[in-house]
Amino acid sequence: MRLNGKIAIVTGGGSGFGEGIVDTFVAEGARVIVADRDGAAAERVAGKHGAAARPVTVDVAVDADVARMVAAATEGFGGLDVLVNNAGVGHVPQPLDGLDEATFDRLYAVNMKAIYLAARHVVPLFKAAKAGTILNIASTGGVSPRPNLAWYNASKGWVITATRAMAVELAPFGIRVN
């Protein structure tokens, strides 16, 4: 049990990759906050794991929601060791000049701003503990862009660059970022 005793948050944990991450973390001994915009999905995934997982309905692009998500881990489980920034959105493939502004804004908010917001709340905790792990989920689209997905590809390229920058800056504090 490689994560025995660890406490984690998994954003977008109510389905897809996030659900798989939650399942694996719990199987490896972690207690997990299942954070998802879809509260019912978060409850369903957390419900599979009993006391080892707790659901939190959160919009990762809203600072107050992110603060509440982190508090759910620190107050509910007594700390935080791992943050998995998994939540993400895409858009229907289309020419880059055809994407509407509202879709672009949501893409930016969930794929990029959410990582910034989570870092604002989690990094001080990890610095104080001189330990912690942040896992940012990107996409092959960030390194090998596909046509008609320009803005999604760019957002995932941002995640890759932000991850590298975070890793360099936070390593002296004992915080790993991948």
What residues act catalytically?
A: 152
Strand spans (E) along the chain: 7-11, 31-36, 53-57, 82-85, 132-136, 175-177
3-state secondary structure 39-85: HHHHHHHHHCCHHHEEEEECCCCCHHHHHHHHHHHHHHCCCCCEEEE
**DSSP assignment letter at 102:** H
Cβ contact 16:10 at 8 Å: no
- List the one residue out of 78, 165, 110 whose CA is nearest residue 175: 165
